[in-house]
Structure 1
Amino acid sequence: MAELMKTNRRDFLKVAGTAAGGLFIGFYWSGCDSPKMKVLSDEEVLSEAHNFNAFLSISPSGDVVMYSPNPELGQNIMTSFPMVVAEELDADWEKVRVFQANLDNDKYDRQVTGGSGAMPHSWERLRKAGATARHVLVAAAAAKWEVDASECSTEKGQVIHKGSGKKIAYGDLVNDAAQLTAPEEVPLKNYKDFKIIGTPVKNVRNKEMFTGKPLYGLDVYREGMVNAMIQRPPFGMKIKSVDDSAAKNVQGVTDVVVFKNNVAVVGESTWPLMKAKKLLKIEYEPDGTVESSEDHERLFGELMEKGKAQVMRKDGNVDQAFSKAAKVVTAEYQCPFLSHSPMEPMNFFAHVKGDRVELVGPTQTPDRARMETAQLLDIPTENITVEITRLGGGFGRRLRADFVVEAAELSKILDKPVKVTWSREDDQTGGAYRPAVRYKFQAALDENGKMTGYKLRGVGINAGNTTRENNFPSGSVDNLLIESIDHKSPITTNAWRAPITNFLAYAEQSFLDEVAQEAGKDPVELRLELLDRAKKDPVGEIHYDVDRMKTVVETAAEKSNWGKDSNVMQGFSVYFSHRSYVAQVANIEMENNQPVLKKIVAVTDCGIVVNPTGANQQVRGGIVDGMGHAMFTNMTFVNGLPKQTNFDTYRLIRMKEVPEIDVHYIDNGIDPTGLGEPALPPTGGAIANAIYKATGKRLRAQPFIEQKEFSEFNLEIKRV
């Protein structure tokens, strides 16, 4: 049976008919002030469509055009969104086209890429858009044939009358359909009847990417534009003096501008600017606290023992549980700062023209870019346009708008259109990093190995809340205390793929393995035991779905043949983040007395998988990202400057180091719950637990290769 979805004129405006042409069905993603259907000519569908941001159009040729509001940075949303519309529309996928929408708050209410939230937010809106269009097309065909609409079906862009076998293409119905009114209720398909959703579909921008067509912010060019590169100060420092004489003598440099605490070199192209920037002689002086990594180590120790913590969650009587414990397990885990390191460094174009501004470039938060520009220049937001290019990666770095504001401010100063481009070194040294954090865990066990008490204290540097206090194992332990301490630092930090959980998951899951060992239990058995407790007799509020988590745990154990091969050393990890659940098993085998990571098995519950091709890349990419940063990557500071300024010293994972990754999904038919981030958090824990199983060495800090416990082993990664 089809699912009924209520719709009204706050979701869809009624169809209005005009001259011959295409059917246009506009819809607001926020569900406010319903969109309209109006007739457009085929030429208008291809040209005027660029003037709209939230709409589905059908031309007389049968082409379906869809604008995607969310910035695309590799999460495949520009392919998945139209797949959902085309599914409910029963469109011919070969005739579906999609374009990136520009910022428009009147039509969209979430033009953001972050938090793995685009598909969960838009799922119903997209389905209603396609289903409503299909409904009026069927009604138009039924009227033309003088039959009841219930006798008609649709398939690949055609309406079909079952009794007579008549068929008519959508393009031939748009004029008649445009005279009809959108219904109050539209039937949605049962997910088991999907024909497009759940099938592997190639990225709709593959051809442009493969052939090098302009798509990215670095490709942006405007007539009369100048380029700029900026030297930014070390964290906690300010400019004392600037000698720019040598930089100005570089051919191709037209200007050097000192503004606020920055020095910009301006010219025709980036190559002479990079040369000139190195010739700047800038003297800095402290502007408050200047910190180094040695300071952070000291702060971690002091705050962990004596710092005033904020209680994030407390259940039961923790002190009593630990005083009566037969055994107490204690461990500390630590992670470093990390750079986001997107393939495309920060860049943005700005043209300030009096009281109006044109902004173009790669941003995860276009509205934030506009708002911060408006505040800087004291210009109404409605006078600022933001065109969103494809993003060459982001991972949270492009949630900020610092690089956008730089371009706008320089354009105002120079009275010219400006494109600001960051070098890789700029990205490394002037970025907003993944916060450094240290965790202290304690578990109280009774004489039977049952966990009766659990403590977690997190200390972070510009991390905000260092915990996810309502995640597992909260709700499964009688007595629980979770605390957080945040040290304010001049070193800027920012959300980094799967914020906080990107490291917290590794620490928690590694610690649970330590608890399992002390309790004399299998690691999977311990997790299932705790989940059963949370299901049958929960302690406090439960903020995760116990059944969904338990299912991925059991399925991962099954798919990996957990514990059944004595020659394979396995590490387990499971985590809930961004509404989804992922369990992973890392397989290590010993070769010549050295541990060799052979395989990672991943089981994901993200609800309905819209596009298996895109989903597989998200899971695999998350695992590779999580593995690489857990094993290799570190950023340290000396007097406010990072020591690692490029990829020669900032070690990223290499393609030859990626093991076999075996991906599975839970088919439960629930609405999609996000996939851009959830596969990353469990990876570090699965690998660390497998390393312990193989070597007897606990890795309680990242990156693994810098730990003394790891130094006597050379962990090899074999590609299969």
Structure 2
Amino acid sequence: MGNQNKLTFSRRNFLRTSALASGGLLIGFNFLTSCSETATPPVDISKLNFKDFNAFIKIAENGYVTIFSPNPEIGQGVKTSMPMIIAEELDVPWKHVSVEQGVLDTNNFTRQVAGGSQSIRFGWDALRQTGATAKQMLINAAAIKWNVEPASCSASQGIIKNANGDELGYGDVVNEAAHLEVPENVTLKESKDYKIIGKDALNVDVEKIITGESLFGLDYKVDGMLYASVLRPPAFGQILESYDSSEAKALPGVVDVITIGEQARNYLNQDSFDPSAHWSVQLSKTDKVVVIGKTTWDVIKGKKALKAIWKDDSLIESTEMHNDELVKILDGKNLDTRREDGNIKKAFAEADKVLERTYESPFLPHNCMEPMNFFADVTNERVHLVGPIQTPEAAAKVVASLLNRNLEDIHVNMTRMGGGFGRRLYGDFVYEVAEISNKIKKPVKLISTREDDMSLGVYRPAISYRIAASIKDKKVTGYHLKEAAINSNMYGLIPHFFPAGAIKNYKVESGNYQSNITTGAWRAPYTNFLAFAEQSFFDELADLLETNPVQLRLDLLKNVKDGEDPNIQYSAKRMTDAIKLAVEKSNWGNTKEGIHQGFSAYYSHNTHVAEVVDITLQNGLPVVEKVTVAVDCGIVVNPTGAKNQIEGGVIDGIGHAMYGDFTFKNGKPQDVNFNTYRLIRMKETPVVNTYFVENDLSPTGLGEPGLPPAGGALANAIKAATGQIMTKQPFVKYLIKHKTGLKV
């Protein structure tokens, strides 16, 4: 990495320090380079309220280190991996580090977000600078004690040494270091010298998780807190006409029944409200009935006792209607062009052969293990919010507007999340509980049942792709991709991903149908289905070209020169390296009899992934035995956590490609719990072997990139085993439809 490790940066953009009243050093640092230059940390750690910086390092007199982490922990491991980066450059033993969750600071921070697999990528440089600067300050303090030059001193594992062999622990000099100037220049470690980065580390919350300590939003409670459950329209397109709450109010434990909705309508009806700029709001204008009670069970029973009448307010939609609308878009001529290279019409006119396929996917719910929930206590002094949310700053801003409060009045404490997958990017449940607490003037916890979670949205939109390729003289000369999606103005395809740049004549178009069914980000937005469509298409294209499907991709990648087209985000070299590693580790093409393989390679969220799926057939249906994954994500911070992320993404991708199906009839979701909605089961999960391309490049995301290639690799394995070309998800439903007599 050479000279990249010598960094110069401005103190004003980095950190502040102060001595602790109880002894020790407190460092408020620029986590993700997002701190305000004017922020000042509190002096006494006992009064630390996180309103001044979005993260702190506390070094105690015994040399132990506490790192306060500001980013939401959604299961992606940032609460472990981000502090590992700091501890590496600080050069303190990992066993001497403890990590605590920070809270939202809307004044000083700009990216306290869990989404897009970007936390490590954006934080890499700032986190290393943080640790290295803290270490240099400690070294400088020791040098003053010894009356020697700092350059003659070194630090390792929390111990500072000088040329004479003298030693001081970090705890011996923290009080002196607290009064020193922050150094302008620091030197970062070479990757070969890492002691923590690249080594396996357990999740910092693992003991609390397995022993059941309070970590998650559903765990949170305070004395005197009430519970709330919200009755919403049973179908999209309906609004509340009237309701009878007499039976619900008569139940023991039910405190009151109220309605909410007025504040949401006022907010949405503002002249300045722009849905495209407020994509995470997901509020509806209809009134909702809320049961307030003493326990979770009280409000669930109370809600079931409500008698509500709903009336149609807008179009009542169905899956059949959606399918028809998407076909109309693909057949139409009013699509928006996202990218166009060369002359696609000429390429197809001169082609020897043309391959065209249409791929279809359903809506999908997120199905987080922990249903949506949040706590609110609205008083004249402040609005106190606690719970699991991926976008705490956005939620705070909306609540401030909803309640007509100053943003400084909104305080958000983040809990660990029992799953998110994009669902908790949307703060509808936060806004509801804030409105409820504001109305009843008491602390209240909103809870959702599984049925609530699956019926109120937000869903992955249904999408169809039509892909066509032209072949001339056994070469791909043209590629035309069309997208038709529900609400795709929010979540469209990626026009500059592979094969952009690899095929001379290339065109990408998209269109959408605006639905009143709420849609949003679902794990690996854009690519979670597009990867299956394109990678399945390439396998079929390889058959027409009479070439190996892996070789086809490698040949196309040779046409791309990295950096030549600034719009192209993927690296041909890095993708090629990942493909070759996957081929090597999977024993591609040399498996034993009865094993059928499928290959896929995809770039998303700044990471290159290649996968090989091994399947067998039982009763005519595929059984996924093994998935081999090769990943180029740059430097791997925590191998254990990284493998967990990849494995989870692959299983998620396999499961939803095989079984995930979600339909609407008369505006109503047809599956509201797991007794009818099919998820992958424990006995169906394959062995996932993950391998990383070794390099010294800055790390990129891992929470999402493992999922998109999984469906494509599985589809190609099914084609290899049965000859059946998969064009629809879920695969099992498609196979059963085309092969009578098969059983799930």
What's the TM-score bracket when you normalise by the shorter of the two chains?
over 0.9
1:387 paired to 2:388: no
Following superposition, the deviation at residue 69 of structure 1 comes to 1.0
**Alpha-carbon distance between aligned partners in 2 of 1:87 and 1:432, rounded to the nearest angstrom:** 39
One-letter code aligned to 1:57: K
2:139 aligns with 138
- Distance in 2 between the 1:591 and 1:305 partners? 38
2: distance between equivalents of 1:266 and 1:591?
51
Cα offsets for 1:644-677 (capped at 9, x unmatched)? 0101111111111111111000111111111111
Cα distance in 1 for residues equivalent to 2:678 and 2:724: 23
**CA displacement, residues 36-57 of structure 1 (integer Å, 9 cap, x when unaligned):** 89896xxx54664766532112
Matches within 5 A, 1:327-366: 327-354=353-380, 356-366=382-392
Specify the alignment match of 1:82 in structure 2. 83
1:689 deviates by 0.3
Give matches, 1:217-228, under 5 Å: 217-228=217-228
Structure 2 CA distance for aligned equivalents of residues 716 and 504 of structure 1:
28
Q: Are 1:27 and 2:19 an aligned pair?
A: no
Contact 2:16 2:28 in 1 (8 A): no
Question: Is the contact made by 2:736 and 2:742 (CA closer than 8 Å) also made in structure 1?
Answer: no
Partners of 2:61 and 2:170 within 8 A in 1: yes
CA distance 1:299–1:590, shift in 2 (3 Å)? closer
SS at match of 1:534: coil
d(CA) in 2 for partners of 1:563, 1:682: 19
Q: Map 1:639-658; keep pairs closer than 5 Å.
A: 639-658=666-685
Match of 2:456 among 406, 409, 430: 430
- Structure 2 partner of 1:506: 532
- Change in Cα spacing, 1:225 to 1:590, as seen in structure 2 (3 Å) is closer
Matches of 1:209 and 1:28 in 2, distance apart? 29
Matched, 1:411 2:437: yes
Offset at residue 707 of structure 1 (A)? 0.5
Q: State the 1:13 CA deviation.
A: 4.8
Structure 1 vs Structure 2: percent identity of aligned residues?
46
Letter in 2 for 1:146: N
Shift of 1:245: 1.9
Q: SS at the partner of 1:431? A: coil
Change (3 A) 1:20 1:627: closer
CA separation of 1:387/1:38 partners in 2, compared to 1, >3 Å: closer, same or farther?
A: closer
2:477 aligns with: 452
**How far did 1:109 drift?**
2.1
Question: Given the alignment, which residue of 686, 690, 695 partners 1:659?
Answer: 686
Distance 1:36 1:11 in 2: 10
> Aligned letter for 1:207?
E
Give 1:582 shift. Answer: 0.6
Q: The residue matched to 1:97 in structure 2 has which SS?
A: strand
> Could you list the per-position Cα deviations for residues 429-474 of structure 1 after superposition, in whole angstroms to 9, with x for gaps in the alignment?
0020000001101000012x21101111110012325311100001
**Structure 2 match to 1:254:** 255
**Is 1:520–2:511 an aligned residue pair?**
no
Shift of 1:223: 2.3
For 2:119 and 2:330, the matched residues in 1 are separated by: 37
The answer as to 2:277 corresponding to 1:276 is no
Tell me whether 1:606 sits opposite 2:671 in the alignment.
no
Specify the code of the residue in structure 2 equivalent to 1:111.
Answer: Q
* Secondary structure in 1 matching 2:330: helix
Q: Deviations over 1:276-319 (max 9, x none)?
A: 21222212111111101111121122222126211111111111
CA deviations over 1:174-196 (Å, ceiling 9, x no partner): 12222321111100001111000
Name the SS for the 2:12 alignment partner.
coil
SS state of the match for residue 405, structure 2?
A: coil
Say yes or no: does 1:323 pair with 2:349: yes
Give the alignment partner of residue 615 of structure 1, picking from 630, 638, 642. Answer: 642
Residue 60 of structure 1 aligns with an amino acid whose one-letter code is E
Matches within 5 A, 1:221-240: 221-233=221-233, 234-240=235-241
Q: 1:594 to 1:39 in 2, by over 3 A?
A: closer
Aligned to 2:578: 552
C-alpha displacement of 1:4: 0.7
Write the distance in 2 (CA, Å) between the matches of 1:593 and 1:14.
Answer: 65
Q: Is 1:625 matched with 2:652? A: yes
Q: Which runs of 5+ in 1 are unaligned?
A: none
Query: Which range moved further: 699-708 or 528-537?
Result: 528-537
AA in 2 matched with 1:617: N
Flag the 1:102–1:591 CA change in 2: closer, same or farther, 3 A. closer
Alpha-carbon offset, residue 380 of structure 1: 1.2
**Could you tell me which of 289, 300, 303 is aligned with 2:315?**
289
Question: Quick one: structure 1 residues 236 and 17, their matched pair in 2 at CA, closer, same or farther if it must change by over 3 Å?
Answer: closer
What is the CA–CA distance in structure 2 between the aligned matches of 1:431 and 1:32, rounded to whole Å? Answer: 34
TM-score normalised according to structure 2 size: 0.92
Which amino acid is the alignment partner of residue 505 of structure 1?
A: A
Q: Deviations over 1:195-226 (max 9, x none)?
A: 00110000111111111111111111122221
Deviation of 1:550 (Å): 1.1
2:6 is matched with which residue: 4, 7, 21? 4
Report whether the alignment pairs 1:70 with 2:71. Answer: yes
Structure 1 length normalisation: TM-score? 0.95
8 A Cα contact 1:66 1:99, kept in partner: yes
Runs of 4+ in 1 over 3 A off after TM superposition: 12-20, 31-40, 44-53, 536-541, 589-596, 708-717
Matched, 1:533 2:534: no
Is the 1:630–1:684 contact (alpha carbons within 8 Å) kept by the matching residues of 2? yes
Instruction: Work out the CA distance in 1 between the residues paired with 2:373 and 2:209.
Output: 19
Letter in 2 for 1:135: Q
Instruction: After superposing the two structures, state which structure 1 stretch, 530-539 or 681-690, moved more.
Output: 530-539
1:92 maps onto 2:93 in alignment? yes
On the 8 A contact 1:13/1:36 being kept in 2, the answer is no
Residue pair 2:36, 2:109 contacting (<8 A) in 1 also: no
- Aligned letter for 2:25? L
Letter paired with 1:695: T
1:59 aligns with 2:60: yes
Summarize the alignment of residues 431-510 of structure 1 with structure 2, pairs less than 5 Å apart.
431-447=457-473, 449-464=474-489, 465-510=491-536
User: Is 1:190 equivalent to 2:190 in the alignment?
Assistant: yes
Partner SS state of residue 13, structure 2: coil
Work out the CA distance in 1 between the residues paired with 2:434 and 2:198. Answer: 43
Contact 1:37 1:178 in 2 (8 A): no
Deviates more, 1:473-482 or 1:245-254: 245-254
Evaluate the alpha carbon distance shift between residue 597 and residue 711 of structure 1 in structure 2; reply closer, same or farther with a 3 A threshold.
farther
Q: Write the distance in 2 (CA, Å) between the matches of 1:652 and 1:259.
A: 34
Alignment correspondent of 2:130: 129
Shift of 1:537: 11
* Aligned twin of 1:170: 170
Residues 638 and 23 (structure 1), Cα distance of their counterparts in 2 relative to 1, 3 Å cut:
same
